[in-house]
Amino acid sequence: MLEKILSDDLYNILANKVNLNFVCEIRLRADKPIVLLIGSQRTFLGRDGTTSNLREAIRASKVMIEDIIFRASECSIYSVNEQIKRGFIVTQGGIRLGIGGDIIEENKNIKTMTNFSSVNIRLPHEIKNCSLSAFNYLVEENKVYNTLVLSPPGAGKTTFLRDFILQLSEKNYAYNVLVLDERGELDIGRSGCLGNFADKICYARKSVGFENGIRALSPDIIVTDELGQLEDVEAVNYAINCGVTVLASVHCDNIDSFIKKPNFEKITDNKLFERYVLLSKRNGPGTLEGIYNENFSRVRL
Amino acid sequence: MKFIILILIALICIFIGYIFSKKYKTRSNFFQALLYLCQKFDIEINYSRERLKNIFLNLDDKYKKDLKGIDGNYIAFIDKEVPLDKDSLFKNITFLKDSEKELIFSFFKTLGRSDVDSQSKEIKNFQSRFESIANNAQSENKKYGSLSIKLGIIAGLLIVVIFI
Nearest CA in chain A to B108: A75
∠ CA B34-B35-B41, rounded to 5°: 85
Last residue of a domain, one of A122, A154, A172: A122
A36 belongs to a structural domain: yes
pLDDT at B159: 83
3-state secondary structure of A87: coil
Residue type, B143: K
Q: Is the reported ipTM for this assembly greater than 0.90? A: no
A127 belongs to a structural domain: no
Longest dimension (CA), chain B: 69
Point out which residues pair with A279 in neighbouring strands.
Answer: A288
Please say whether the beta carbons of A184 and A204 come within 8 A: no
Please say whether the beta carbons of A216 and A115 come within 8 A: no
Nearest CA in chain B to A104: B115
Taking CB atoms and an 8 Å limit, are A111 and B115 in contact across chains?
yes
Option in A4, A76, A112 nearest B112 (CB): A76
3-state secondary structure of A290: strand
For residue A84, which residues of chain B lie inside 8 Å, CB to CB? 115
With a threshold of 0.90, does the pTM exceed it?
no
Q: How far apart are CA A174 and CA A218, in angstroms?
A: 13
Enter the DSSP assignment of A203.
S
Residue type, B93: I
Give the range of the structural domain holding residue A198, as residue numbers without chain letter: 132-300
Please say whether the beta carbons of A286 and A262 come within 8 A: no
Q: How far apart are CA A206 and CA A203, in angstroms?
A: 9
**Best residue in B40, B56, B111, B113 for a mutation probing chain A (most A CBs within 10 Å):** B113
Please say whether the beta carbons of A89 and B127 come within 8 A: no
Please say whether the beta carbons of B114 and B122 come within 8 A: yes
The whole-number mean pLDDT for each consecutive block of 10 residues of chain A, a chain of 301 residues, reads 89 90 91 90 91 92 94 93 89 86 88 92 83 89 90 87 90 88 75 79 86 91 90 92 93 89 86 92 83 88 60
Taking CB atoms and an 8 Å limit, are B112 and A77 in contact across chains?
yes
A138/A53 same-domain check:
no
For residue B120, the distance in angstroms to the closest alpha carbon of chain A comes to 10
Domain harbouring A94, CATH code: 3.30.450
Taking CB atoms and an 8 Å limit, are A75 and B111 in contact across chains?
yes
Domain harbouring A168, CATH code: 3.40.50.300
For residue A76, which residues of chain B lie inside 8 Å, CB to CB? 49-53, 112
Lowest mean pLDDT among A17-21, B1-5, B39-43, B91-95: B1-5
Last residue of a domain, one of A122, A150, A180: A122
Please say whether the beta carbons of B21 and B146 come within 8 A: yes
For residue B114, which residues of chain A lie inside 8 Å, CB to CB? 77-78, 112, 114
Q: How far apart are CA A226 and CA B103, in angstroms?
A: 46
